[in-house]
Structure 1
Amino acid sequence: MGGAGTMLTDFDISELTAFRRQLHRFPEVSGQERGTAAWVAAALAACGVSPGRIVTGLGGHGVAAVFDGAALFDGAAVGPTVMFRAELDALPITELSNAAHRSSIPGVAHLCGHDGHVAILLGLARMLSRHQPARGRVVLMFQPAEEDGSGAAAVVADARFDDLHPDWAFALHNFPGIARGECWLAAGPLSCASVGMRVMLEGKTSHAAQPERGVSPGLAVAGLIADLGALGRGGDLGDAFRLVTITHARLGEPAFGTSPAHGEVWATLRTMLDAPMAALKAQAVALAEAAAKTHGLALRIEWHDNFAACANDPAATDHMARALDSLGMTHAPGGLPMRPSEDFGAFDKLPGCKSAMVMLGAGVDHAALHNPDYDFPDDLIAPGVRLFDRITRDLLG
């Protein structure tokens, strides 16, 4: 992945597009991004990043590249650390596409655009390799497992991340429904906290002709579907916002001759802020416990896909806004904050770190994220690289 000069060339864009499409053809779901990470590490090495400045296996399959500024003292960078984040993982969804670069892995596809985000960071790596920052250092963070909410937290918990701790952290996410190349950006709350709740109820089977000889979770499942949903009806995205969405339910096995013993209800709990989530979880647990007790059932609860709320720091947002202005890229608060969750929230809670994320428009009529016909627009690679490079130069010279 070569090239010359201090700007992205047409050759750069061609190579980055080809790399993005290669990732698209070979997607890997959360926690299984081994091949994707290896390709990224190789691309970074081809940009001239020394092996000692590439960290692999962060929080699973995460990869980080460190670019030091020119100002050093005793071999250490002088100035702030600026981090840019992209995600490595794909989704367990079957892609519907006739594109030559469509997924070759059954039931797995890059339907959120993380392949494009990776290409943008690799484009920034090219810029940094040609034009060293005057001071500080830049960390390019290729993070695993964003889709299930575990990746950013695992990266932060990795002991090696202590040496990469950023003073500033930035990210972007392509977003269908916004005009191509325009942006949504605002300080304050960006995306909701959310967690998946799996309620498992266990009774005793019996013959369907003698249900009184068993203990069926049927009524408990039916009641919980209604009662859990009633805990949060959505509404305006203010501080008190709560939404509970029933995502799956199961009762026994598909048979007419047996009264079931096992039942499950899956629900996603969502709040605008982190603090109200504890109360919402407690209420949901209380409902499950009451249902189990009433119907004589054993109860087990699991929690999955835990996302912290994400908020944009005012100072970081201001830096991003000025960079957009200097590039002539239109931005407005638009539809922010938004209901979907984003695990970039784990970085905005780091001590001493100011962070911001921008939504980069993929097109008003572009297929929605997680839709089977979604594909990342390749013409967002160049503006994404320019934005991150502009932020770098504004902060580090």
Structure 2
Amino acid sequence: MNSLIQLRHTLHQFPEVALEEYKTADRILDFFEPLQPDVTYEKLEGTGLAFVFKGKKPGKRLLFRCELDALPIADLKENKYQSQVPGKGHLCGHDGHMAIICGVGEKLAQNRPETGEVVLLFQPAEETGDGAKAVIADPRFEQIRPDYAFALHNLPGYPLHQIVMRSGTFAAGSTGITITLKGKTSHSAHPDAGINPAQALAQLMQQLPQLPKEIPGFSLLTLIHAELGSLAFGTSAGKGSLSMTLRAFDQKDLDLLIEKTQALAKKMANRERLKLEVEFVEKFAVSHNDPELYSLVKAAADKLALSTVDKSEPFNWSEDFGLFSQHCPSFLFGLGAGEKCPQLHEGTYDFPDELIETGVEMFWGILSSLQSQE
């Protein structure tokens, strides 16, 4: 376990953000080389990696996923392994998640599965919502397409080692949207000679956040940025933009909210004689936990005598693992990082090393339970 902690600390020192995880991938490759996986897939749509350990007999293919990327946020916690990259840090715990999957790799190297295959996936760009889509789009994904997929995420605010579970939706789906309205600039002394999007922008800022009231289930629209023209007092603006994040617990509700957002923007643009452009960024699918896999995760936690808690409502945040749940039965669970642990994405957050062994044993327990069913 000490080697996994050391690996985690090294990864923490040299964080790389989404789609730039080249040296991180090289470190993972170096770690797995002596473990001799049966198949190694490199550069899955960029920096992604997958290591396949084959069983003695044919059977189901099981996938465990972790994330390669860090955040563009400064690491403020001073210690011997503090980030050496200015403005970047592993402040979501992906360094710890990688160490956990590496630990599963060590166990698989010593004990190949009895049946089927186990795929250990190191996914890029989780934070931006680009990674899962890119990996699944890679033609080689068909060679590792799983029958079941599992992932975990550490959760500050929950007791250390506690397993947080939920059947059905575990985390919301979300997408970022930027609406751009283009009119015509003019002299500010003659605004009537131009087409200023200010009025349309102001009305959209008032009306868009009200759209979730028209959605059957939980949804939320959060305005995050607005821009109008430029700081030129002699000019009436001819361009404006509004950015927002939409989220929902059900994919159909999210799609409906997106549809209503675009319809309102189009209506406003037409009324004000403005050209409309809509851009989507950071799209995350709803993370749906297959009910039939719940008992496997619960059994693994019980065998380790770990505390478990069922969350009554899904989390409002999103996780890129959700896209896998559209391709196979999947399950994402939480691993308590301590009630006093700083929250994810905070500058003082640091993944608790004690969780590495717990994560390894949880995944191993899930694997053992599935193997016993075949």
TM-score tier (shorter): over 0.9
- Partners of 1:395 and 1:307 in 2: how far apart? 28
Displacement, 1:48?
2.8
CA distance in 1, matches of 2:168, 2:211: 25
Deviations 1:312-334 (A, max 9, x none): 11221211110000001111213
1:43 aligns with 2:31: yes
Q: 2:185 aligns with which of 201, 205, 208?
A: 205
Aligned 8 A contact 2:52 2:118 in 1 = yes
Q: Which residue of 2 aligns with 1:341?
A: 318
Per-residue deviation, 1:239? 6.4
The Cα offsets for residues 208-260 of structure 1, whole Å up to 9 and x where unpaired, read as 333333322222222111111111269xxx96111101111111223333322
Confirm whether residue 23 of structure 1 aligns to residue 23 of structure 2.
no
The change in CA–CA distance for 1:323 and 1:251 in structure 2 (over 3 A counts) is same
Counterpart Cα distance in 1 of 2:34 and 2:232 = 58
SS state at 1:338 partner: coil
Find the partner of 1:307 among 268, 284, 299.
284
| 1:62 and 2:64 correspond | no
Matches within 5 A, 1:269-280: 269-280=246-257
Structure 2 residue 63 is the aligned partner of structure 1 residue 83 = yes
**Counterpart contact for 2:166–2:312, Cα < 8 Å:** no
Tell whether 2:339 aligns with 1:364.
Answer: yes
Q: Which amino acid aligns with 2:208?
A: L
Structure 2 residue 374 is matched with structure 1 residue 386: no
CA distance in 1: counterparts of 2:229 and 2:353, whole angstroms: 46
Q: Is the counterpart of residue 132 in structure 1 residue 109 in structure 2?
A: no
Q: Counterpart of 2:231?
A: 254
Aligned to 1:373: 348
2:331 aligned partner, one-letter code:
A
In 2, Cα distance between equivalents of 1:186 and 1:258: 54
1:233–1:244 CA contact under 8 A, matched in 2: no
**Which one of the candidate residues 89, 93, 97 is aligned to 1:113?**
93
Cα distance change on mapping 1:186 and 1:298 into 2, 3 Å = same
The SS at the match of 1:378 is coil
Corresponding residue number in structure 2 for 1:34: 22
Which residue of 2 is the match for residue 8 of structure 1? none
Distance 1:365 1:260 in 2: 48
- Give the Cα separation in 2 of the matches to 1:112 and 1:289: 37
Instruction: State the secondary structure of the residue aligned to 1:231.
Output: helix
Superposition map of 1:290-329 within 5 A:
290-329=267-306
* Aligned counterparts, 1:227-246, within 5 A: 227-232=207-212, 240-246=217-223
Deviation digits for residues 95-115 of structure 1 (CA, Å, limit 9, x no counterpart): 322223222222222111111
TM-score for both structures, normalised by structure 2: 0.95
Alignment check: 8 A CA contact 2:195 2:238 kept: yes
User: For 1:80, what is the secondary structure of its paired residue?
Assistant: strand
| Aligned partner letter, 2:317 | P
The whole-number CA distance in structure 2 between the counterparts of 1:346 and 1:129 is: 29
Partner deviation per Cα, 1:302-350 (whole Å, 9 max, x = no partner): 1111111111112212111100000011112135411111121211121
Residue aligned with 1:344, SS: helix
| Contact in 2 for aligned 1:239/1:273 (Cα 8 Å) | no
CA distance in 2, matches of 1:103, 1:83: 30
Q: How does 1:120-159 map to 2 (within 5 A)?
A: 120-159=100-139
Q: Which runs of 5+ in 1 are unaligned?
A: 1-12, 72-77
Preserved CA contact (<8 Å) 1:317 1:355: no
State, as a whole percentage, how many aligned pairs show the same letter. Answer: 41
Matched length: 372
Distance 2:353 2:117 in 1: 28
Q: Distance in 1 between matches of 2:26 and 2:237?
A: 47
RMSD of aligned alpha carbons: 1.8
AA partner of residue 275 (structure 2):
A
User: Hey, what does 1:160 align to over in structure 2?
Assistant: 140
State whether residues 95 and 373 of structure 1, in contact with CA within 8 Å, keep that contact through their aligned partners in structure 2. Answer: yes
Native 8 Å contact 1:208 1:258 kept in 2: yes
The TM-score with structure 1 as length reference comes to 0.89
Q: Which amino acid aligns with 2:41?
A: V
Unaligned runs of 5+ in 2: none
